Structure formats: structure tokens, C-alpha cells
Amino acid sequence: MENLLQRITHDPEICHGKPCIRGLRYPVEFVLELLSAGMTIDEILADYDDLEREDILAVLLFAARLTQVKSIHKIAS
């Protein structure tokens, strides 16, 4: 699983430092939005040729790890 997380990169020069897939200009949040809109992994891969199945799995693992915090503070009403 740690190998998957290595696919998520942070570079201040790419997408304003947001976590992205393999240094490409695909932020984690973008892929999560596609999935939450109902796209399947196969549909995403068909639309974005430079992404790989492991990239999508890495995004899901990264998001899961982000939710493993001890507490969440309300930041907006």
C-alpha cells in the first residue's frame, strides 16, 4: 500500500502544491470529484490516457488516510 502512496506527489510548482498524481496535473481532489460524480475507474482511465488504475487506487488510499484524523474542526457554516 505504501507503494501506492508514492504515486501521490506534492510540488509547489504543480497545481499550487496540491497533492497530485505522479507529478502530473491531476490533483487528488479532481479524481475524487470524478468518482463522486459516478464515473467508474474504467471510465476515468478511458478519458485520461496517462492515468493508470494504480493512480486511482492511490487517490482512494490517500483520501482514506486523510480521514484517519483524531478530530475534524468545522471551518465553514
The predicted-structure confidence for 14-30, as pLDDT tens digits, reads as follows 999 999 999 999 999 99
What domains, with CATH codes, occur in the chain? Answer: 2-66 (1.10.10.10)
Q: What is the pLDDT of residue 47?
A: 98
Q: What is the pLDDT of residue 36?
A: 97
26, with CB counted inside 10 A (0-12, 13-18, 19+), is: buried
Query: In tens digits, what is the pLDDT along the chain, a chain of 77 residues?
Result: 779 999 999 999 999 999 999 999 999 999 999 999 999 999 999 999 999 999 999 999 999 998 887 776 676 65
